[in-house]
Amino acid sequence: MNENELLDILERITLAQFAKLVFLLQVPKNLMPAEDKELTLRAIALLEWAQAPGGSGLEKIQQTLAEMGITTTSAQERLAEILDPIDDFKKISRIYQQTLGDVDNHQLKNVNNIHELLKNLQEIPVQAKHLWLMRSPINFLSVLS
């Protein structure tokens, strides 16, 4: 993660979270602007200190943010984390629908496909399933019953 991405994250956190980050990183107080200054100015000072000799490095800031429970992924990355499983779930649903149509033939491969589908369904995050099911044109629950 580069300094611009970290700056974006630092500008979004609360003042209390920023103060805790500065404390945990043990940033010398004389290098930080006063607490009444804009958060952006303070975040820039933190990043400059981190990259200077004797500073913690950007990786340490990112690590400390993660330890504090603050996500360091961009909105685009978070959206991809949600959409990828939804796309997978849609593909699995189509395979399941096709398999249901072939079950009357009692082909062994269809049984294996259903087994594989159920295994894959367990790996999809619950929130992705719910998001997709709410928007699905088919009633997936009726298919399962």
Q: What is the pLDDT of residues 32-89, one digit of tens each?
A: 999 899 999 999 999 999 999 999 999 999 999 999 988 776 666 666 666 676 677 7
Tell how far CA 88 is from the center of its chain. 17
- Same domain for 128 and 81, yes or no, is yes
**DSSP 3-state assignment of 64?**
helix
Is the pLDDT reported for residue 11 higher than 80? yes
What are 66-71's contacts with CB under 8 Å, separation 24+?
Answer: 67/24, 68/17, 68/20, 68/21, 68/24, 70/9, 70/13, 70/17
pLDDT digits (tens, 9 = 90+) for 109-118: 655 666 666 6
Tally the domains of the chain: 2
Q: What is the mean pLDDT of residues 84-99?
A: 69
| Residues 115 and 135 grouped into a single domain | yes
- Which is more confident, 133 or 82? 82
Residue 59 and residue 89 in one domain: no
What's the domain range around 113?
75-144
Q: What pLDDT sits at residue 102? A: 55
- Domain check: are 26 and 58 in the same one? yes
